Amino acid sequence: MSRHDHQRLEDILAAVEAIRGHLQRGDLTDGLIFDAVRARLIEIGEAVKALPAELLAQQPDVPWVQVAGMRDRLAHRYFDTSHAIVTATVEQDVPELERAVLVLIRSTEDA
């Protein structure tokens, strides 16, 4: 894994931590919190798009294509963004994504 790839994985972790911080200030019914979380989800998707497929294939349980696709939807179709989908993503998918990214980082550090 290149240094650049490692930085992208770190960017994902930083965005996950920022999402947690935003949610400590309020919930997704607050428009400002929702917008901040949405921006971080866009960052996550952008970082995933920049990672090589062979690296992402090491964690096949994560739907990487959908993560990247959500970035496009959030960035370009923001008026159609469903609070329920963002809430489910944050509650269910982001923790799974974080675990997978930590595994990828650890596996490359051990190599």
List, by residue number, the catalytic residues. 71, 76
Whole-number Cα distances in Å, 42 to 12, 22, 23, 55, 109: 10, 15, 16, 20, 27
End-to-end CA distance of the chain: 9
Q: Which long-range contacts (CB under 8 A, 24 or more apart) does 106-111 make?
A: 107/58, 108/1, 108/5, 108/6, 111/1
